[in-house]
């Protein structure tokens, strides 16, 4: 029989051996990594002045992905903003990490955006350091702040996020819900995630627990290198978080650190994904590239001869996988750079060289016209169609009555299934103008062997392509 003293000795021995057992079984031990990296992770507090009673302003301090955010977004819709109350202070919080011994800190733009006061606190240090915002980039949700310290600060270095593989262990450090220096571990569960957070979505997905307050904190590989900046969560899921890849972030941060604003190339087109049906209608061997739905007048692409209906297949000899990939490739170039585009047009490849413009709010606004829509006619592919009248064209914000007005749609027909709506205007079919039902029927008859027809559709001032399958019969 084992005595109490022997049992105690056995328990202590097992406890001491657990890390070695874990390592022997291939399981990581995060003790040293957490202790060392945690020294460079900071707790960020913010303060801003806002009009009391305005739910829209109050909403701004709720982190993206927080389950309460939608509630605050909807509050003003039902009750309206409250007026006449005194301004009040709003408090926010987030995380960050030091990248330079002299006090340069990386965080998310949404952590410090609009703040009147930013303060920083370190692990096991009650001293608060006032911080200044050096630079911020809304499109990538990155920001750089700086503090003054009387001694060199511990730092974290960037690693290669391109090199990390799905399934590798990672460690997240931050301040979720104000719980200072919380450490969570998990794996990279996916790469290149697009979640609709911004124009350059390219997130690492991890199951290391990330919560409100983690924003701006580091996602570390087992070498202690930052391979991601924790940014967003999926509030409807459990333990699904997203981080900006370090290879993408490092370039932006290097500019922000110097007080510079990132300058990104701009084509001046609206683009969309190429579906399998659209590829078939265009005669493309595979659904790849980015389909040009609209070319801005006098925009760089317009001046270079890019046309509506072109599919951009390559940029400077690099294949374009989809519309998101095109956006990243163009934004990775500077205004004034040359972009050699390989386009698919009328069944063959053509080349155009574009001198890129500068991506800006004004330039993007020029690409998003706004207008209304509205609705007895011949039926084609489940759509009741009629030629557009001058009055209807005016109501739809069009200069001339061009195209066919969709009066009604059978939801079970190809058009309904592909999202055509009442009030849409069909401008082209397989890149041929259609101003009568006979025009459209002629294109369908001519190209029936393709198995699909691609329509250029105008809706609320925006053009987009929709491909409809054609019956083999």
Residue 317 marked ligand-binding: no
3-state secondary structure the chain: CCCHHHHHHHHHHHHHHHHHHHHHCCCCCCHHHHHHHHCCEEEEEEEEEEECCCHHHHHCCCCCCCCCHHHHHHHHHHHCCCCCCCEEEEEEEEEEEEEECCCEEEECHHHHCCCCEEEEEECCCCCCEEEEEEEEECCCCEEEEEECCCCCCCCCCECCCCCCCCCCEEEEEECHHHCCCEEEEEEEEEEEECCCCCCCCCEEEECCCCCCCCCCCEEECCCCCEEEEEEEECCCCCCCEEEEEHHHHHHHHHHHHCCCCCCCEECCEEEEECCHHHHHHHCCCCCCCEEEEEECCCCHHHHHCCCCCCEEEEECCEECCCHHHHHHHHHCCCCCCEEEEEEEECCEEEEEEEECEECCHHHHHHCCCCCCCCCCCEEECCEEEEECCHHHHHHCCCCCCCCEEEEEECCCCHHHHCCCCCCCEEEEECCEECCCHHHHHHHHHHCHHHCEEEEEEEECCEEEEEEEECCCC
Residue 436 annotated among the catalytic residues of the structure = no
Q: Is 195 annotated as a binding residue?
A: no
From the list 110, 161, 373, 439, the catalytic residue is 110
Beta bridge partners of 190: 205
Question: Was 235 annotated as part of a binding site?
Answer: yes
Residue 293 labelled as part of a binding site: no
- Determine the distance from the C-alpha atom of residue 58 to the mean position of all C-alpha atoms in its chain, rounded to a whole number: 23
The answer to whether 233 is a known ligand-binding residue is yes
Q: Is 47 annotated as a binding residue?
A: yes
261 is in an annotated binding site: no
**102 is known as an active-site residue:** no
Exposed, middle or buried, 249 (CB in 10 Å: 0-12/13-18/19+)?
A: buried
Catalytic residue (choose from 66, 215, 439, 447): 215
Residue 187 burial (C-beta neighbours within 10 Å; 0-12, 13-18, 19+): middle
Catalytic, 110? Answer yes
For residue 234, say whether it is annotated as part of any ligand binding site. Answer: yes
Residue 215 annotated in ligand binding: yes
Annotated binding-site ranges: 47, 110, 141, 213-215, 231-235
Q: Which residues are catalytic?
A: 110, 141, 215
Annotated binding-site ranges for substrate: 47, 110, 141, 213-215, 231-235
């Amino acid at each position: 029989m084992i005595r109490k003293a022997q049992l105690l000795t056995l328990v202590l021995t097992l406890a001491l051996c657990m890390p070695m057992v874990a390592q022997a079984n291939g399981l990581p031990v995060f003790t040293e990594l957490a202790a060392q990296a945690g020294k460079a992770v900071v707790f960020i507090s913010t303060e801003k002045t806002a009009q009391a009673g305005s739910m829209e302003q109050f909403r701004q301090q709720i982190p993206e992905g927080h389950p309460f955010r939608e509630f605050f977004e909807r509050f003003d819709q039902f009750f309206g903003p409250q007026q006449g109350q005194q301004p009040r202070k709003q408090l926010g919080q987030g995380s960050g990490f030091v990248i330079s011994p002299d006090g340069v800190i990386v965080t998310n733009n949404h952590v410090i955006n609009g703040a009147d006061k930013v303060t920083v606190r370190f692990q096991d240090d009650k001293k608060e350091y006032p911080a200044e915002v050096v630079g911020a980039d809304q499109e990538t949700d990155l920001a750089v702040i700086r503090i003054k310290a009387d001694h060199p600060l511990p730092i974290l270095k960037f690693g290669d996020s391109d090199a990390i593989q799905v399934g590798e262990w990672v460690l997240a450090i931050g301040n979720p819900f104000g719980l200072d220096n919380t450490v969570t571990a998990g794996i990279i569960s996916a790469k290149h995630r697009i979640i609709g957070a911004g124009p350059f979505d390219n997130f690492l997905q991890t199951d290391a627990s990330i919560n409100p307050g983690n924003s701006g904190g580091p996602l570390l590989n087992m070498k202690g290198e930052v391979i991601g900046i924790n940014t967003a969560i999926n509030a409807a899921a459990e333990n699904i978080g997203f981080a900006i890849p370090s290879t993408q972030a490092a370039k932006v941060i290097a500019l922000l650190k110097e007080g510079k604003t990132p300058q990104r190339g701009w084509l001046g087109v609206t683009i969309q994904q190429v579906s399998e049906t659209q590829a078939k209608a265009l005669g493309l061997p595979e659904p790849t590239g980015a389909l040009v739905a609209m070319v801005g007048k006098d925009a760089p692409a317009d001046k270079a001869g890019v046309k509506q209906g072109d599919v951009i297949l390559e940029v400077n000899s690099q294949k374009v996988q989809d519309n998101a990939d095109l956006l990243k490739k163009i934004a990775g170039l500077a205004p004034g750079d040359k972009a050699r585009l390989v386009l698919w047009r009328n069944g063959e490849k053509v080349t155009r060289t574009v001198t890129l413009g500068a991506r800006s709010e004004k330039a993007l606004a020029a690409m998003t016209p706004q207008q209304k829509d509205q609705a007895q006619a011949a039926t084609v592919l489940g759509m009741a169609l009629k030629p557009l009248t001058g009055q209807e064209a005016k109501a739809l914000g069009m200069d001339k009555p061009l195209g066919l007005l969709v009066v009604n749609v059978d939801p079970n027909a190809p058009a309904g299934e592909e999202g055509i709506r009442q009030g849409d205007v069909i401008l082209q079919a397989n890149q041929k103008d259609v101003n009568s039902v006979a025009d459209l029927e002629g294109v369908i008859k001519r190209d029936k062997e393709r198995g699909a027809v691609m329509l250029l559709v105008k809706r609320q001032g925006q053009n987009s392509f929709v491909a409809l399958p054609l019956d083999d019969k």
